[in-house]
A and B are shown apart, each in its own frame.
Chain A
Amino acid sequence: MYKSLIMTAFSAAILLRGADAQDLMDLSLEDLLAIEVTSVAKKPQRVDEAAAAVAVITQEDIRKIGATTVPELLRYVPGVEVGEIDGTSSAVSARGFNYRYANKLLVLIDGRALYQSTQSGVLWDQVMFPVEDIDRIEIIRGPGATLYGANAVNGVINIVTKHAADTLGSLVAAQTGVTTTADQFFGRFAARQGIRLSDNGAMRLYVTGKDVPALVGSDEEPVNSGAQSIQAGFRVDLEPNDKDSFTLQGDIRQLDFDVTLEFTTPVGPFGSLVFEDEEIDEGYNILGRWTHSFSDDNQLSVQTYIDDSHRTEFGASFDYTSFDLDISQFIRWGERYETVWGFGYRTVDDKVVGEDVLTYTVEEFYAELYNGYVQQDIHFADKRLRFSLGSKFEHNDFTGFEIQPSARAIWVGEKDWSVWGAVSRAVRTPSRLETSINFDLGTVPPIPELGLFLPLQSALVGSQTLDAEDLLAFEAGWRKSWDQKFELDIAAYYNDYRELVALIQLDPELITAPIGPGGAEVPVTIEQNLGVDNAREGEVYGIEASALWRVTDQWELRLVGDLKDTWFSEVPTAVGISQVFQGLSPNYQWNIRSDYQLTPELLTVTTLRGVGELEGSPTEGYTDLDFRLAYRPRPQMEFSLIGENLLEAGRREFNSIIYPAPYSEVERKVSATMTLRF
């Protein structure tokens, strides 16, 4: 699947040798559709031959589940944690470290990285394109740094959208619903038109929009956190000959969202501050890709994109423009060797202007990042034994050179089983938020009875001397299938983290000012700031499993789950909210999904899931149920009824950590959807 992910840049299909006519007859229709007909050597790589913990959310999964956002879909993947924070914000991570600005997970859409260093994470409310356009979502838990570089520490989520040839014709989808406690209405629409450009090309245009309900507070009234968004985009795919492919795609978006933020200073019982504001997020991106096949064993891909966004939040405005260029090549050397190598260049030009509590000490920043990588695969024993060795060499403006090597091996047995293992190093480079933030935590007035005779002023300040966070990961896994009826996939991991960023209490300073006729310097304020430092070590270890049971032709059962434990070193100077950068994660999660085709027209999808309490926080665990009944009177027309969170009227999924959302609960929701294709 590593190859699958890197080969996404080359084509939708994956390179393996030797698909003859009889092999083709054995492929499923889905696999056949992924083959470029004139590329002799192409054939999809099987997930069970990947030396990594891999999951794929397919188009069929997306259709059945009926989810309308990517975070909702990711709830069905073991080891991936998802928590809804407010109407627009979600916390998504893999193998721990989850919070609004989770920064150890790399998320890509068609190879475009969504990470924004100004806010140190992925802003999931910016991911607005229609789920109907997704071809698949590939999820790797564990480091992917060798091919992807910094921030692919705990996992990579690669969202692959459909080739324009897959979206000819028209599609209209709509959803409307209501929450059952605060009676908030919500809705979504998507419209898409696919056009054939010539014998060699196709394009699609789409527009989508949604109205997202706010979460509710403890008084069961909506907290001010709803959102309205609209996005439009296109994708053009041209294949003018049997050697070259061109893709050009882009999106433009506008999001208006309401926020209520509740700041409480961590250094005393005073100084809480409540913000209520209307914010905007707008942006565009455009991506171009050229793939050239020198031969079946030698392909080159050049991809470049620009991503631009403007966002207001926390009383500040964030402008962010990134430019990225990636060149990569796949070469097969004889029967035994395969090489992927490449290099990349990225620039980030940002500007953060704060007016109220949030400012950046460096308002405008221009950063360059360049890297090179190589990965060598070696096969033995008729490809049953495969070793993969590689490393990425990266230079960034924050920490200089970083080397991220990886070694993987897999043995594929004869009777539908495989076992694999891997050792990898990955790093996460500091973000602009961590290096430049100056966040006013408020001022505590003098309290003589507590021995405080001067005002105490506090702020969270970033550090320009932060080093990269470092991970050494050990992984192993086993997969087995029994006659296409039952499949089992188990992965275990041990992650050893060094140089983790922790929140520390800096030494207090007396601030003086000239007082009186002589202008003598007199102490007027005590400054007690919080800072950040690479002061923590940590270990996270766990096990993840997924099972599929095809009970009958009409009924499938899926069970996914994960267990993990964490240890973090004590930091002598760490303050009470020390888990800010290590996030909030449950020790366990499980999810049972039943897909039952009642009749050819009626499908039910029932999902029962449980999530443990978030370690070190007051957020309790929960068990809840989602249900979907889909009715398809005609093949091109589907109506469905959806009930979400049916076991509880409301529950809290996450709590404020860095992102100061007030106490809020996710409500029970009922909705109806309609999808038409013509």
Chain B
Amino acid sequence: MVLNFPLRLMRGRIWAWFASLLICTLSNAHATTASPERDEQVAAAMIFNFARFAEWPRGSFDQYNEFRICVASNESIVTPLKELESRTIKNKPVKVYLKSEGEMVDGCHIDILSASIDMPAPDEGTLYVAMSEGLAPDVAMLELIRVGRQLRFSANPSLARQSGLKLSSRLVDLAVRVR
């Protein structure tokens, strides 16, 4: 197997162009100018979909006749999440509860973790979703990941299982990283 690529590489007359492209690419890699409102709308839609593809332990909906989403009150995702209150998840009307520092909400089916509030001790039957990567690796079962304008997520099905939850294989397949 003799590779004679180097000679042929030299023959390419447009390598300077590619070098320019690479330099241009890397030199432009500075901070993102985000569009937060849109970003949070998509994140909320994604969390809505997470609920479709997760299973809660039997009896999780016995205590309250609603699907409880808990989120820190000062997070910008609150507004698009509130729009979910016209919808149902698992045949229960969605209700969004706002958390503030030092104040807990009982019976959250989804608890959205953000940097603005202390991490809770994990509760059985609660799906913890982190708003960013690495925020609460020991608690978050799903983490939103932002790369440039792309919004993705990672999944930790083992952690979910420990809390009696089950993430569907379809959801795990779509995760960019599985822990």
Residue numbers of A with Cβ under 8 A of B are 21-22, 24-25, 27-30, 32-33, 35-40, 59-60, 63, 163-169, 194, 196-202, 236-246, 248, 252, 254, 256, 280, 282, 284, 286, 288, 290, 304, 306, 308, 310, 319, 321, 323, 600, 632, 634-636, 677-678
Query: What are the residues of chain B within 8 A of A677 when measuring CB–CB?
Result: 177-178
The listed residue (A37, A248, A254, A323) touching B21 by CB distance below 8 A is A248
Contact B84 A165 (CB under 8 A): no
State which of A30, A38, A280 has its C-beta within 8 Å of the C-beta of B174: A30
Chain A residues with CB under 8 Å of B5's CB are 252, 282, 284
Q: Which residue of B lies closest to A39 (CB)?
A: B149
Nearest chain A CB to B63's CB is how many angstroms away?
26
Select B53's contact among A24, A29, A32, beta carbons within 8 Å: A29
Instruction: Give every chain A residue within 8 A of B173 (Cβ-Cβ).
Output: 59-60, 63
- Let me know if A242 and B84 touch, CB within 8 A: no
Also in contact, A304 and B39, with CB within 8 A (given A254-B1, A634-B157, A678-B178): no
Contact mask for chain B residues 134-165; partner A; CB cutoff 8 A; 1 contact, 0 none: 00000000000111111110110110000000
B48 within 8 A of A: yes
For A29, the chain B residues whose CB sits under 8 A away are 46, 49-50, 52-53, 170-171, 174
Q: How far is B143's CA from A151's CA once the two chains are assembled, in angstroms?
A: 45
B interface size (C-beta, 8 A): 68
Most A CB contacts (10 A, CB to CB) among B148, B152, B177 go to B148
Question: Once the chains are docked, how many angstroms separate the CA of A33 from the CA of B46?
Answer: 8
Question: Cα distance A27–B151 when bound, in Å?
Answer: 14
Specify which of A169, A199, A238, A244 is in contact with B177 (CB 8 Å cutoff).
A169
- Pairwise interchain contact A310-B4, C-beta atoms closer than 8 A: yes
B147 contacts A201, C-beta separation under 8 Å: yes
Which listed residue, B33, B34, B49, B166, touches A32 by the CB 8 Å rule?
B49
Give the CA-CA distance A245 to B29 in the complex, in Å.
10
A592–B35 Cα distance when bound, in Å, is 46
Measured CB to CB, the residues of B under 8 A from A are 1, 3-5, 8-9, 11-15, 17-18, 21-22, 24-26, 28-35, 38-39, 41-46, 48-50, 52-53, 80, 83-84, 87, 145-152, 154-155, 157-158, 166-174, 176-179
Known contacts A165-B145, A323-B13, A635-B169; 7 further A-B pairs (Cβ under 8 A): A27-B45, A165-B147, A245-B148, A246-B21, A248-B22, A282-B4, A319-B8
Given the known inter-chain contacts A248-B22, A636-B157, please indicate yes or no for A25 contacting B83, CB distance below 8 A.
yes
Q: How far is the CB of A13 from chain B (nearest CB, A)?
A: 10
CB-defined contacts of B45 to chain A, threshold 8 Å: 21, 24-25, 27, 32
A568 and B144 alpha carbons, distance in the complex (Å): 58
Mind listing 22 A-B residue pairs with CB under 8 Å?
A25-B44, A25-B48, A29-B174, A32-B42, A32-B46, A37-B39, A37-B43, A39-B38, A63-B173, A169-B177, A199-B148, A200-B29, A200-B31, A200-B147, A239-B32, A242-B33, A256-B1, A282-B3, A290-B24, A290-B25, A304-B17, A306-B12
User: Which interface residue of A246, A308, A319 has the most chain B CB atoms within 10 A?
Assistant: A246
Instruction: State whether A635 touches B167 (Cβ < 8 A).
Output: yes
Name the A residues within 8 Å of B83 (CB-CB). Answer: 21-22, 25
Q: Which residues of B contact A163 (CB under 8 A)?
A: 150
Q: Is the CB of A238 within 8 A of B176?
A: no
Question: How far, in Å, is B86 (CB) from chain A's closest CB?
Answer: 8
**Chain B contacts of A243 at CB under 8 A?**
33
A37 touches B151 (CB 8 A): yes
**Are A28 and B49 neighbours in the complex by a CB distance under 8 Å?**
yes
What's the Cα separation between A321 and B147 when bound, in Å?
Answer: 34
The answer to whether A237 touches B171 (Cβ under 8 A) is no
5 A-B pairs closest in CB distance: A239-B148, A169-B177, A165-B147, A635-B172, A38-B35
Partner of A632, one of B9, B146, B169: B169
Given contacts A199-B146, A280-B1, contact A242 B48 (CB under 8 A): no
**Distance (whole angstroms) from the CB of A549 to the closest CB of chain B:** 19
Give every chain B residue within 8 A of A166 (Cβ-Cβ): 150, 152, 176
Question: Cβ of B28 and Cβ of A288 under 8 Å apart?
Answer: no
Chain B residues within 8 Å of A40, by CB: 35, 38
User: Are A242 and B176 CB-contacts (below 8 A) given A165-B145, A168-B145, A200-B147?
Assistant: no
What is the CA–CA distance of A22 and B31 in the complex, to the nearest angstrom?
30
Cβ–Cβ contact B32 & A240, under 8 A:
yes
Chain B nearest CB from A287 CB (Å) reads 9
Q: Chain A residues with Cβ under 8 A from B150's Cβ? A: 36-37, 163, 165-166, 237, 239
Q: Complex formed: what's the CA distance from A606 to B178 in Å?
A: 28
Q: Which residues of A contact B177 (CB under 8 A)?
A: 168-169, 194, 677
Q: Residue B25 contacts which of A236, A282, A304 (CB distance < 8 angstroms)?
A: A236
Q: How far is the CA of A107 from the CA of B24 in the complex (A)?
A: 29
Q: Contact check: which of A32, A236, A635 meets B178 at CB < 8 Å?
A: A635
Given A38-B149, A168-B177, A237-B148; A199-B32 close (CB under 8 Å):
yes
CB distance from B106 to the nearest CB of A (A): 26
In the bound assembly, the distance between CA atoms of A202 and B38 in angstroms comes to 22
Contact partner of A168 among B22, B148, B176, CB < 8 A? B176
How far does the Cβ of B133 sit from chain A's closest Cβ, in whole Å?
A: 8
**What residues of chain A lie closer than 8 Å to B15, measured between beta carbons?**
306
Inter-chain CA distance A25–B82, complex, in Å, is 12
Which residues of chain B have C-beta atoms less than 8 A from A280's C-beta? 1
Q: Which residues of B contact A27 (CB under 8 A)?
A: 45
Indicate if the CB atoms of B12 and A238 lie closer than 8 Å.
no
CB atoms of A239 and B147 under 8 A apart? yes
Beta-carbon contact of B11 and A321 below 8 Å: yes
Expressed in whole angstroms, the minimum distance between the Cβ of A170 and any Cβ of chain B is 9
Contact B149 A239 (CB under 8 A): yes
Question: Chain B nearest CB: distance from A503 CB in Å?
Answer: 34
Alpha-carbon distance between A304 and B157 when the two chains are bound, in angstroms = 41
CB distance from A615 to the nearest CB of B (A): 41
CB of A197 within 8 A of CB of B157, answer no
How far, in whole Å, are A284 and B14 apart by their CA atoms in the complex?
14
Task: Check B147 against A199 for contact (C-beta < 8 Å).
Answer: yes
Query: Which of A59, A196, A243 has the most chain B CB atoms inside 10 A of its CB?
Result: A196
A245 to B150, CA, bound (A): 11
Give A28's nearest chain B residue, CB to CB. B49
Contact present for B39 and A38 (CB under 8 Å):
yes
Q: How far is the CB of A224 from chain B (nearest CB, A)?
A: 19
Question: CB within 8 A of A240: which of B9, B30, B151?
Answer: B30
Contact B35 A33 (CB under 8 A): no
Assess whether A288 is in contact with B38, with CB atoms less than 8 Å apart: no
Contact assessment for A600 and B169 in the assembled complex, using a CB-CB cutoff below 8 Å: yes
Complex formed: what's the CA distance from A616 to B48 in Å? 56
User: Which B residues are CB-close (under 8 A) to A244?
Assistant: 28
